[in-house]
Chains A and B, each alone.
Chain A
Amino acid sequence: MLKKWEQRSMKVAALGVTALALAGCSSAKSSSNQGNNPGKTIKIGVNMELSGSAAGYGEQQKQGIQLAVKKINKNGGIQVGKTKKKVQLVIRDNKTTNNTAASVAAQLVNNDKVVAVVGPATTNAGTAAIPNMTKASVPTVSPSATDPDFTLQKGGAVQKYVFRACYQNDFQGSSAAKFVTKNLKAKRVAILTDNSSDYGTGLTKAFKKSYTGKLVSSQTFQEGDKDFNAILTSLKHKQIDAIYAPGYYSEIGLIVKQARQAGIQAPIVGSDGMADAKLAQIAGKQNANQVYYTTPFSTKAAASNPVASKFMSAYQDKYGSTAPTFSALAYDSVYMIKKAIENEGSANSVKIANGLAKLKNFKGTTGTITIDKKHNAEKTIAIEQLTNGQVTKTYDVDQ
């Protein structure tokens, strides 16, 4: 009897110890404030949405990251002081969930000892990863977390180790509002928002703040929705001059298709989540007319930007299609880290964070980037117009 009890208690104890050990692995160290140092190689972590609902975007970003690292290593690596060190990627999937994003962050900084992280792609997952990154003093650059508060702490102070390579929503939303008023002269606008992401709701908020005309209708949809006929039919007789639809290409492509098939010819204006050749494929070329979107990465502008045109052709060679915006942003994220290391002459993670904060006039594929006080990427914005599925015109928006 006693023996049995003993056995059982031993088992419980063993379980407890294992649990503790596991917990010890996953919670970030807070004692040392020195951050991680590189070994023979510079380890860069990737905390990315490779499965789950945002996997499509995560996959594209991974391609951009791998392309960047391959190119860096081909040229011998990153100059750290007097030696050149190669870059080693540690790619981990956060499954588009917040808990996994947080535990992946802990794993990357504590077990893999990376000196910088690229990702996550979405604001939600990105925000969940911040505490562990900050505890370990390792900087993270998100290619596509657009929420204005992403880089800020609750009180409004900046998150020391959080950066982004994309615009924040306020900038993009207000640019779209200006374009709709000035260029399209639209007096009556309907909004269709992806309200399952911070991206869509944030852009809508920013658009509403700066748009001065009449807002006829404001409707929402969910990521993964395929049928917009009902909403579009109800908009048809409301005499709208334009539709503002911030979201990703997979849903906006369907909105464009169904709107044109329902006989709505009003211009459809969106955001950089639409900047993908797949938009026109899903909408159908004959339907992708009078479609506009704000983007940092115009394929037209790329022709005059040597960094971008090199990236475009490298991507084309490797993956056989036009580079999507997400890949370009992820590519820039890696090069921003490289630049920060070179400027600081050290690949210590704290130094990289300092270097990123001081980044100025960095020539990326998505334009010339300067990191501002709030760790946002400042760069110019353009609006592209699609006609028959092709980019035919690029507009500049004055701020």
Chain B
Amino acid sequence: MQTFGQQLVNGLSLGSIYALLALGYTMVYGIIKLINFAHGDIYMLGAFWGYYSLRAFHFNFLMALCSAMVVCAVLGVVIEYFAYRPLRHSPRITALITAIGVSFLLENGMSALVGANARSFPQALPVVTYHWLGIRVSNIQLLILITACLLMALLELIIKRTKMGKAMRAVSVDPEAAQLVGINLNHTISFTFALGSAMAGAAGVLIGLYYNSIDPLMGMTPGIKAFVAAVIGGIGSVPGASLGGFIIGILETGVQAVGLSAYKDAVVYFVLIVILLVMPAGIFGHNRREKV
């Protein structure tokens, strides 16, 4: 029972990171139907920004987190402006390939710029471990969980309660009709990228603090796992992405807990295939018919 509880804690803290990343995928997909493969690398850039701001500018943790969100939001907008906007009217496959290209550019660019070595993240917060019914929970695990939940709630608020959120929802339903009623398409899309990238930046700093190790290729695997999470939850759906993230985190932990660590990635992808076969639109997705 204790072990089960402990594994649940492990799964939840891993899952909240995937959830934060999955949100970015799902929002961008919901708006412009683009799978932004560079999203995992924005998360890496967030972690590096955290690293340098803590070391060079002596920020405290909260400032590092917030500044990383701002920097990543700006980066997200810049990437959208230079890489995806010129391709707005090209076939979707072109934008997809460009996204993979941007991902490679960021990974290898950072490797060339700062070196490919793994480096240790400055410990901005001392680790305190709480014991509760025989379960060990560290303050950082709690912090990750709480920050993730807060940001997700904030995102939900922005999408459901603000004017910009309304514009985002309108664009995702029908971009042309949205323009007809006076919504600025470019602004809305930039805003979506900014929001998603800010989430990724926050996840990067949190991961840096939690695992204490960052490197330029750190975004690759989590990026793909988060993408799977977004698909499982129903790509385009915000609550779906959060749920998908937690499902993947707990699934991965569970597989390792029963001693099948060699198959942990295989199981995640297997579940992806099963979900796509049984519920092609994901858990929260709507099965919309494509207009021809």
Closest to A219 in B: B261
Judge whether B217 and A224 touch: CB under 8 Å. yes
Contact, CB under 8 Å: A227 / B3: no
Is A263 on the interface with B (CB-CB < 8 A)?
Answer: yes
**8 Å CB contact of B116 from A59, A221, A226, A254:** A59
CA distance A226 to B138 in the complex (A): 17
Residues of A in contact with B, size category: 35 or more
Q: Taking the nearest CB of chain B, how far is it from the CB of A117, in angstroms?
A: 21
Q: B60 contacts the other chain (Cβ, under 8 Å)? A: no
**How does the 8 Å CB contact mask read for B1-37 relative to A, with 1 for contact and 0 for none?**
0010011001101100000000000000000000000
Number of B residues with CB within 8 Å of any CB on chain A: 41
Other A-B pairs beyond A59-B115, A233-B6, 13, CB < 8 Å: A55-B116, A56-B116, A58-B116, A217-B259, A219-B256, A229-B14, A230-B7, A230-B11, A230-B256, A231-B256, A250-B215, A254-B213, A278-B120
**A281 proximity list for chain B (CB < 8 A):** 119-120
**Contacts across chains A and B counted by CB atoms under 8 Å:** 102
* A 182-201 to B, binary, CB cutoff 8 A, 1 in contact else 0: 00000000000001000000
Given A219-B256, A261-B138, A284-B212, A230 contacting B120 (CB threshold 8 A)? no
B220 interface hit (Cβ, 8 Å): yes
Is there an interface contact between B7 and A221, defined as CB atoms closer than 8 Å? Answer: no
**B252 surroundings in chain A (CB, below 8 A):** 227, 230
Contact with B along A238-267 (1 / 0, CB 8 A): 000000000001100110010001110000
Q: Decide: A51 and B111 in contact? CB cutoff 8 A.
A: yes
Tell me the bound Cα distance from A219 to B261 in angstroms: 6
Interface core residue of B108, B252, B256 (most chain A CB under 10 Å)? B256
- Does B149 make an interface contact (CB < 8 A)? no
Residues of chain A within 8 A (CB-CB) of B129 are 261
List the B side residues contacting A278 at CB < 8 Å.
117-120
Q: Which of B100-122 contact A (CB under 8 A)?
A: 108, 111-112, 115-120
Note all chain A residues with C-beta closer than 8 A to B97. Answer: none
**Which A residues are in CB contact (< 8 Å) with B215?**
56, 250
Interface majority SS (helix, strand, loop, mixed), chain A: helix
Q: Report how far A221 CA is from B264 CA in the complex, Å.
A: 9
On whether A229 and B211 interact (CB within 8 A), knowing A278-B118, A278-B120, A284-B123, the answer reads no
Task: Kindly supply a per-residue 1/0 record for chain B positions 253-285, scoring 1 wherever the CB is within 8 Å of any chain A CB and 0 otherwise.
Answer: 111111101100100000000000000000000
Q: How far is the CA of A231 from the CA of B259 in the complex (A)?
A: 7
Asked whether A219 and B259 contact (CB < 8 A) given A226-B218, A282-B212, the answer is yes
The answer on a CB contact under 8 Å between B256 and A51 is: no
Given contacts A56-B116, A233-B6, contact A227 B211 (CB under 8 A): yes
B241 within 8 A of A: no
Closest A residue to B216 using CB positions: A55
Interface string of B193-229 (1 = CB under 8 A from A): 0000000000000010001110101101100000000
User: B residues near A, CB below 8 A?
Assistant: 3, 6-7, 10-11, 13-14, 108, 111-112, 115-120, 123, 127, 129, 136, 138, 207, 211-213, 215, 217-218, 220-221, 252-259, 261-262, 265
- Which residues on the A side are within 8 Å of B262 (C-beta)? 195, 219-220
The verdict on A3 contacting chain B, using a C-beta distance below 8 Å, is no
Q: Is A310 an interface residue (CB 8 A)?
A: no
Contact B261 A227 (CB under 8 A): no
| A226→B117 contact, CB < 8 A | no
Q: Is A237 an interface residue (CB 8 A)?
A: yes
Q: Which residue of chain A has its CB nearest to the CB of B141? A: A229
A245 CB, nearest partner CB in chain B, Å: 13
Which listed residue (A231, A262, A263) contacts B261, Cβ 8 A? A231
Is A53 in contact with chain B by the CB < 8 A criterion? yes
Contact residues of A between 261 and 320, Cβ < 8 Å to B: 261-263, 278, 281-282, 284
What are 19 A-to-B residue pairs whose CB atoms are below 8 Å? Answer: A56-B117, A56-B118, A219-B261, A221-B261, A224-B218, A226-B218, A227-B252, A229-B253, A230-B255, A234-B256, A234-B257, A234-B259, A249-B118, A250-B213, A253-B120, A253-B213, A254-B213, A257-B211, A282-B120
A250 touches B116 (CB 8 A): no
Instruction: Give the docked Cα–Cα distance between A145 and B39 (Å).
Output: 34
Q: How far is the CB of A255 from chain B (nearest CB, A)?
A: 11
Instruction: Say yes or no for A99: interface residue by CB 8 A criterion.
Output: no
* Nearest residue, chain B, Cβ from A96: B116
Does A71 belong to the interface (CB within 8 Å)? no
Query: Would B117 and A230 count as touching, CB distance under 8 A?
Result: no
A59 to B216, CA, bound (A): 14
Q: Cα distance A234–B221 when bound, in Å?
A: 23
Residues of B within 8 A of A262 (CB): 136
Which residue of chain B is the closest to A280 with respect to CB atoms?
A: B120
Name the residue of chain A whose CB is nearest to the CB of B117.
A56
A53 to B112, CA, bound (A): 13
Q: Give chain B residues whose Cβ lies under 8 Å from the Cβ of A390.
A: none
Bound-state CA distance A278–B88 (Å) is: 45
User: B217–A53 contact, CB under 8 A?
Assistant: yes
A308 to B211, CA, bound (A): 33
Q: Is A222 positioned at the interface, with any CB of B under 8 Å from its CB?
A: yes
Bound Cα distance from A89 to B37, whole angstroms: 37
Interfacial chain B residues near A254, Cβ < 8 Å: 211-213
**B14 x A222 contact (CB < 8 A):** no
The 4 closest A-B pairs by CB, nearest first: A55-B116, A230-B256, A250-B118, A281-B120
With a CB–CB cut-off of 8 A, which chain A residues contact B108? Answer: 51
Does chain B have a CB within 8 A of A236? yes
Contact A282–B213 (Cβ < 8 Å): yes
Smallest CB gap from A262: residue in B: B136
Q: Which residue of B lies closest to A55 (CB)?
A: B116
Is A230 within 8 A of B253, CB to CB?
A: yes
CB distance from A388 to the nearest CB of B (A): 15
Contacts of A219 in B (CB 8 A): 256, 259, 261-262
Cα A234 to Cα B256 in complex, Å, equals: 8
> Which one of A220, A227, A278 has the greatest number of beta carbons of chain B within 10 Å?
A227
B10 pairs with A229, CB closer than 8 A: yes
A234 / chain B contacts, CB cutoff of 8 Å: 3, 7, 256-259
Using CB atoms, name the residue of chain B closest to A56: B117
